[in-house]
Amino acid sequence: MSSTFGRLFTVTTFGESHGGSVGVVVDGCPPRLRLDVEAVQHELDRRRPGQSRLTTQRQEADRVEVLSGLFEGRTIGSPIALVVENTDARSGAYDHLKDLYRPSHADWTSEAKYGFRAWAGGGRSSARETIGRVAGGAVARQLLGALAGIEVVGWVSSVHDIDAEVDAATVDETAVDAGPTRCPAPAAAARIEAAIDRARRDGDSLGGVVTCVARGVPAGLGAPIFDKLDATLGAAMLSLPAAKGIEVGSGFAGTRLRGSEHNDPFVVGDDGRPATTTNHSGGVQGGTTNGEDVVVRVAFKPTATINASQRTVTRDGDEVDLAATGRHDPCVLPRAVPLVESMMCLVLADHLLRQRAVDVLPREPGDVPPPV
Residues 20-79 that bind a second copy (CB under 8 A): 20-23, 25, 27-28, 30-33, 65-71, 74, 76-79
Nearer to a second copy, 112 or 172 (CB): 112
Residue 347: partners with Cβ closer than 8 Å, 6 or more residues away = 229, 232, 233, 236
Nearer to a second copy, 38 or 316 (CB): 316
- Applying the rule CB under 8 A, the residues between 85 and 104 that interact with a second copy are 101, 103-104
Which amino acid is residue 209, in one-letter code? V
CA 243 – CA 235 distance, rounded (Å): 11
- Please list the residues that pair with 320 across neighbouring strands: 312
- Piece of 51-59, 87-95, 164-172, 214-222 that binds a second copy (CB under 8 A): 214-222
Pick the binder of a second copy from 49, 179, 184, 291 (CB under 8 A): 291
Residue 209 found at the interface with a second copy (CB under 8 A):
yes
Judge contact between 157 and 211, C-beta under 8 A.
yes
Backbone angles phi, psi at 285, to 5 degrees: -130, 125
- Piece of 53-61, 184-192, 240-248, 334-342 that binds a second copy (CB under 8 A): 240-248
Closest among 352, 368, 206 to 288, alpha carbons compared: 352
Nearer to a second copy, 79 or 180 (CB): 79
Nearer to a second copy, 172 or 359 (CB): 359
Residue 280 found at the interface with a second copy (CB under 8 A):
yes
CA 322 – CA 308 distance, rounded (Å): 8
- Please list the residues that pair with 70 across neighbouring strands: 75
Closest among 229, 195, 211, 182 to 299, alpha carbons compared: 211
- Applying the rule CB under 8 A, the residues between 123 and 182 that interact with a second copy are 123-125, 129, 146-147, 158-161
For the bound state, the minimum distance from the C-beta of residue 73 to a second copy, rounded and expressed in Å, comes to 11
- Applying the rule CB under 8 A, the residues between 333 and 362 that interact with a second copy are 353-362
Pick the binder of a second copy from 83, 138, 185, 340 (CB under 8 A): 83
Nearer to a second copy, 153 or 196 (CB): 196
Give residue 37's Cα distance to chain centre.
Answer: 20
Pick the binder of a second copy from 231, 293, 326, 327 (CB under 8 A): 231
Output DSSP code: residue 120: G
Nearer to a second copy, 101 or 155 (CB): 101
Residue 301: partners with Cβ closer than 8 Å, 6 or more residues away = 104, 207, 242, 243, 244
Backbone angles phi, psi at 139, to 5 degrees: -70, -45
CA 183 – CA 265 distance, rounded (Å): 31
Nearer to a second copy, 174 or 252 (CB): 252
Judge contact between 102 and 312, C-beta under 8 A.
yes
Pick the binder of a second copy from 174, 270, 317, 372 (CB under 8 A): 317
- Piece of 41-49, 50-58, 167-175, 230-238 that binds a second copy (CB under 8 A): 230-238
For the bound state, the minimum distance from the C-beta of residue 120 to a second copy, rounded and expressed in Å, comes to 7
Judge contact between 326 and 93, C-beta under 8 A.
yes
Pick the binder of a second copy from 36, 50, 315, 327 (CB under 8 A): 315
